Structure 1
Amino acid sequence: MARSAVCGAAFIVVLLCVLLTTPYVINATITCGQVVTLLTPCIPFGVYGGTVPPECCAGIKGLNDAQNTTEDRRTACSCIQLGAALIPGIDYDRINTLGDRCGSPCPYKVYPSTNCSEVS
């Protein structure tokens, strides 16, 4: 296995561990663990571009379907923001196109400056 692939795999494992143990809003029904599971297939597109994997689109749709309340959307936003900040080379403009590319638009955009507590 190439060194970059090993480093990438190790990074994803660390990212999953961090996000799975991150506290989330108690009133939300969605968890950071669910967000990570749904969006992990999108990481290569967020870093390298290219074709959006079908598993990523399935995850985007699943995430949008799971965001039933304002608290769910705020929790998901915070989890995405935290996770994206840990991924070297992530292109926020690119990841914010995923909803439209997958036919399941996201109700908010996530950037480092996004205030997820204002997501409605």
Structure 2
Amino acid sequence: MAISKNLVKPLSLLFLICIVFAASSRVDAAITCSSVFNGLIPCLSYVVKGGKVPPTCCRGIKSLYSIAKTTADRQGVCSCLKMAASSVSGIDFKNAAALPGKCGVKNIPFKISPKVDCSKVR
């Protein structure tokens, strides 16, 4: 599958972020930012362009949701997503916020937004 020219820059940035976090970050939780990003890379085309949510995106969301059991895990995931949301250009935050529901995951304890306060996530 070919990558659209519109996605090359965001994907490149996301890949760079993954490498940096894979080498250095655990976000004080058992879940690393690299695992968050790797699980959600299939969602990038949807959050930028909309359309149909890829099944691999939903698998990533469900997997992430199932392993984020503790407050520290959920705050760590929130911090990773917040950092990604403010680093990747072109994200439609309405699409991002709709993803959990479209994938059948309910009760996400925070809004996917660059403005979310992750310290309040429980």
The alignment's TM-score, normalised by the length of structure 1, stands at 0.86
Deviations 1:6-32 (A, max 9, x none): 545433422322443453432x21111
Residues paired across the two proteins, number: 119
Worse-matched range after superposition: 28-37 or 49-58: 28-37
2:75 aligned partner: 74
Distance 1:3 1:103 in 2: 28
- 2:85 counterpart SS class: helix
Matched ranges for 1:29-108 at <5 A: 29-105=30-106, 106-108=108-110
Alignment check: 8 A CA contact 2:27 2:33 kept: no
Matched ranges for 1:4-43 at <5 A: 4=5, 6-7=8-9, 9-21=11-23, 23-26=25-28, 28-43=29-44
Amino acid in the other structure paired with 1:25: V
4+ residue runs of structure 1 moved beyond 6 angstroms?
none
Worse-matched range after superposition: 10-19 or 36-45: 10-19
Amino acid in the other structure paired with 1:52: V
Distance 2:4 2:111 in 1: 33
Q: Is 1:113 matched with 2:119?
A: no
Amino acid in the other structure paired with 1:30: I
Mark the runs of 5 or more structure 1 residues left unpaired by the alignment: none
Cα RMSD after superposing both structures: 2.1
